[in-house]
Chain A
Amino acid sequence: AQSVTQLDSHVSVSEGTPVLLRCNYSSSYSPSLFWYVQHPNKGLQLLLKYTSAATLVKGINGFEAEFKKSETSFHLTKPSAHMSDAAEYFCVVSDLGDSSYKLIFGSGTRLLVRP
């Protein structure tokens, strides 16, 4: 069975400092992994996606994530936080062997950016 664990429910950083949001997953087959972002009272926006083409995935707004199979991790990073990055971030897994293509969401990490 698939599952996703986001290791921090809240992360607080200062503007201009690096961001690290941690995610571990379990999957029976070859996983697709995603990060979505949700700004307050908004819908979900796709940040980036891993589908086995490259282990380091670059997304929008300067975010990137590295797939580490040995550690079953897919952590999200950004070199320098901006105030506009304050939002909730969801790590998501989908198994390529599941014909429903359903997404399994982590419980989310709320990122606070301090001025």
Chain B
Amino acid sequence: DAGITQSPRHKVTETGTPVTLRCHQTENHRYMYWYRQDPGHGLRLIHYSYGVKDTDKGEVSDGYSVSRSKTEDFLLTLESATSSQTSVYFCAIKEDTDTQYFGPGTRLTVL
């Protein structure tokens, strides 16, 4: 258990509303990641962080922003949600090796 929690676990929202997903870790890992999972695509990287206030884009970053003001929290924000952002979102941490461990996921539905 890598001590990762995600909140909320489920969310339904409407197109055009802002949404923030939270990832919390308890073990002070430097690297944290946000992925989205869609059928037929596996998981794809949205953004990642390599330290407090240090973030960078992944392959599907359009429409998303992130923030990391504390080591333990990594926030993913959809400024104006669209139906194409309906997905399951997973947070991950990287241990000292390059192994990543995943949180339980957040299922987001944008109507």
Interface residues of A (CB under 8 A from B): 4, 9, 32, 34, 36, 42-44, 46, 49, 51, 90, 94, 96, 99-103, 105-108
Query: What is the CA–CA distance of A44 and B88 in the complex, to the nearest angstrom?
Result: 12
> Min CB distance, A7 to chain B, in Å?
14
Scoring B31, B90, B94, B98 by chain A CB atoms within 10 A of each residue's CB, the highest score goes to B98
- Identify whether the interface residues of A are mostly helix, strand, loop, or mixed: loop
B51 within 8 A of A: no
Give the contact stretch, choosing among B17-25, B42-50, B65-73, B79-87: B42-50
A103 touches B97 (CB 8 A): no
Q: Which residue of chain A has the shortest Cβ distance to B38 in the bound complex?
A: A107
A106 touches B42 (CB 8 A): yes
A34 touches B42 (CB 8 A): no
Set A34, A100, A106: member contacting B50, Cβ < 8 A: A100
Set B42, B98, B99: member contacting A107, Cβ < 8 A: B42
A-B contact count (CB 8 A): 51
Enumerate chain A residues within 8 angstroms of B42, measured Cβ to Cβ.
Answer: 4, 90, 105-108
Enumerate chain A residues within 8 angstroms of B105, measured Cβ to Cβ.
Answer: 43
B97 touches A46 (CB 8 A): no
B58 within 8 A of A: yes
Set B31, B41, B50, B90: member contacting A43, Cβ < 8 A: B90
Q: Which residue of chain A has the shortest Cβ distance to B40 in the bound complex?
A: A107
Enumerate chain B residues within 8 angstroms of A108, measured Cβ to Cβ.
Answer: 40, 42
